[in-house]
Structure 1
Amino acid sequence: MAVGLVLGAASAGWTVGSPRAAAVVADVLGPTSTSTPEVIDRTGSQSRASGGRTLLAPDPVVVPQGMLPTEPAPGIVALPPGLTAQDVSAGLRSAEVPTSGAGTFSVVPGADPGPGTGTVRTVRVEVEDGLAVDPAAFAATVMATLNDPRGWGADGSISFARTDGDAEIRVLLASPDAVDDLCAPLRTGGEVSCGTAGRAVLNLKRWVLATSETADDRTTYRHYLVNHEVGHLLGHGHERCPGPGQRAPLMQQQSYKAAPCTFNAWPFP
C-alpha cells in the first residue's frame, strides 16, 4: 500500500518535512484490557452518580456498574467498550485496531510555544485519516509527554514547541499497514513503530494495546512510545538492559519486553 501525503491547509492535512537520520523500532503485541463501565462529560470532566444524584468532579472518576444513574445527565456519554477515561484522554475513540486507514494524513491544527527552556525543537503532529482518534487529544498527549519534567528536556537543554507548519520532528499516529510503508526499509511487520527520516511513526496497534507487560498501565506505555521514537530522531540508538531488576534505559526495546529489567518510560525518570 502506498501512503499518500495530502498537501493543503492544515485542517485538510498537509505534510511537509525535511528528512533526518535516525534509528529503529519500538513495540510488540499485548492483550487488550477491559474496565468497568464509566461515563465522561464531553467538556472533559467526569461524573459520578450517588444516591440518584450526579456529582461533577474535575478528575476522572471510575463509576461502578451498580451506581450508574437511571437517566444519564445531559452531556454525559458512556465510554466506548474496552476503553478507560485515560484511553480517551490519549485520543482513542475505539478499542478496535483496523489494519489500514485512508493512507493519507491530516496535520493537527494549532500551535504551542512550549515551556521555553533550552533549544526549541519544533514538532508537528499528524493522524492518519479514517482512524477513530481525536486528533487534538492525541496531540496534547504527545506534547505533554515530550515536555514532561522527566522527558528529554529534564536538564534544561531542550524543549518542544508544537506547530502545524514546517517542523524538525513529525509525530504520526498510523495504522499498521501505513506504518509498514512509512518505516520501510525497516521491517515493522504491522506490529511495531519506528523513528526515522524525521518521523516518529507510532503504530495505532501499540497505542491501543500496549504490551503484555504494560496492559494494565497503557498510559505509561504511551509515554514510552513517544519518548523512545522521538529519542531516535534526537540521535539516540538502542541500549541494553543493564541487569536483572534494574530500571530499563528508555532506549531499550521495551516493546518486545523490558524484563529482566523493570519497565521505564522516561529518559530522566
Structure 2
Amino acid sequence: MGALLAGAGTGWVVAGPPTTSAAEPVARPPAATLDALDVAVRGGGAAARGAAGDRPLVGPSRPAGPGPTSPGVPSTATTRAASPAPTVPPGLTAADVAAGLLAADVPEHASGELVVVPAAQRAHADAAGGTDRVLRVRVEVEKGLPVDPAVFADFVMTTLTDGRGWGGDGSVAFEVTDAEPDVRVVLASPDLVDEMCAPLRTAGQVSCGRNGHAALNFRRWVEAVQDYGDDRTSYRQYLVNHEVGHLLGRPHRPCTAAGAVADVMQQQSYAVKPCLPNAWPFPQD
C-alpha cells in the first residue's frame, strides 16, 4: 500500500496499458450527442473492497548621520516586488486549474498508456472514517493529456474523503495507493474510455464505472455539462462519486420529483432537470 502523505512533485510510475475486459474500441457515431446516447452504465465489477510566496520585502529605514553642513536624510526603504500570481491558461478558470487542467483542448485520443500517480504525491492523509472497510484507490492518468496528474489525484481523493461522500454514513473509507488497488480512478481520452467501457456504448461522450475502474472521460472533465452551468467543480465531484458509486454496487436512480435534489446515481451527464444538480451521496444543507 502506498504512503498516505505526500509532498510536491509530478513524477509518474508507468502502469502499462489498461487492463480491462474490452478487446476492441467501440465505433463512435459521427454526430453523437448526449441526448441521443443510450448508455446503461452498470455497477458491474463492484470493488471488494513555501513557501508562503514572495512577499514585499521592506528594508529598514536608516537615517544617514547629519553631515557637517547638511541635515541628515533618511535612506529610501527598498522593496522587492512580489512574484506575480500564477497565470491561468487561456480558456480555463482557477477552478479548472484546481482540478488539474493545464489546457482546455480535448484530444480524441492520446498515448493509450496509463500512468499511476505516486501515492507519495498526496498532499494530506486520507480520512479513515471510523470504519473497518477501507478501499484502496489508485489514480491513473493517460499519458499525453494536458493535465497535472498530482493535482488531479488530489481532487479525486479530496472528493472521495469528503464528509458528504460515500463514507458519510460510516460504511466505507478510502485511502490512496500506488500498489494493487481495490478501485482505480482513471482519467482518459474519449477513445480510451470507449475501449475501457466496452461493451457499454459511451461514444466518446460519457464515462463509466465497471470492472474495478471508474473511467472518467476527459471531455466531460473539461467541458462538464449544461445543467451544471458554470459550476464545473461540482460536476467533476459528481463524476467521481457517480462512477465510484457503480463500483460500490449502486445502480442508477431516476429523478423523483420536480425541484427535488437529484440522487448522485441519477444520470446527470444526460439531464438533471426537473431535479436540481447534486454531486454528493450524502448532501448537507
Quick check: 1:17–1:170 contact (8 Å CA) kept in 2? Answer: no
Q: Which residue does 2:87 correspond to in 1?
A: 78
Question: What's the TM-score, normalizing by structure 1?
Answer: 0.75
AA aligned to 2:170 is G
Q: Which runs of 5+ in 2 are unaligned?
A: 1-10, 22-32, 36-49, 57-80
- Shift in Å at residue 83 of structure 1? 0.9
Alignment RMSD? 2.9
The one-letter code matched in structure 2 to 1:14 is A
How do 1:1-269 residues align onto structure 2 when only pairs under 5 Å count? 11-14=12-15, 28=34, 73-74=82-83, 76-111=85-120, 114-117=126-129, 118=131, 119-269=133-283
1:95 & 1:158 partners in 2: Cα distance? 34
Distance 2:20 2:140 in 1: 16
Query: Which whole-Å CA distance do the structure 2 matches of 1:247 and 1:163 have between them?
Result: 33
- The Cα of 1:13 is off from its aligned counterpart by 1.5
Is the CA contact (8 Å cut-off) linking 1:16 and 1:166 kept in structure 2?
Answer: no
Aligned in 2, Cα 1:79/1:120: closer, same or farther, shift over 3 Å?
A: same
Aligned mates of 1:258, 1:45 — CA distance in 2: 41
Distance 1:19 1:177 in 2: 14
Could you tell me whether the CA contact under 8 Å between 2:13 and 2:118 is conserved in 1?
no
| Structure in which a larger fraction of residues adopt strand | 1
Q: How far 1:82 moved relative to its partner? A: 1.4
Q: How many residues align?
A: 221
For structure 1, the residue ranges without an aligned partner over 5 or more in a row are 1-9, 21-26, 30-42, 48-52, 54-71
- State the AA in 2 paired with 1:147: T
Return the index of the structure with the highest Cα Rg: 2
Q: Which residue of 2 aligns with 1:65?
A: none
Point out 4+ residue stretches in structure 1 off by more than 3 angstroms. Answer: 15-20, 43-47, 72-77
Cα drift, residue 12 of structure 1: 3.2
Deviations for 1:188-237, whole angstroms, at most 9, x for unmatched residues?
Answer: 00000000000000001000000011131000000000000000000001
Which letter maps to 1:133? V
Alignment deviations for residues 125-151 of structure 1 (CA, whole Å, 9 cap, x no partner): 000000110000000000000010000
Q: Which amino acid aligns with 1:209?
A: E
CA spacing shift, 1:99–1:206, aligned 2, 3 Å: same
Instruction: Say if 1:44 and 1:103 are closer, same or farther in 2 by CA, change over 3 A.
Output: farther
Which amino acid in the other structure matches residue 109 of structure 1? P
> What is the Cα deviation at residue 161 of structure 1?
0.3
Q: Answer whether contact 1:15 1:107 (CA < 8 A) is retained.
A: no
Structure 2: which amino acid aligns with 1:11?
W
Aligned partners of 2:264, 2:34: CA distance in 1, in Å?
Answer: 16
Distance of aligned partners of 1:98 and 1:18 in 2 relative to their CA distance in 1, 3 Å threshold: closer
User: Counterpart amino acid of 2:14?
Assistant: G
Q: Secondary structure at the match of 1:13?
A: strand
Q: 1:28 to 1:91 in 2, by over 3 A?
A: farther
Give the fraction of aligned pairs with identical amino acids, expressed as a percent. Answer: 52
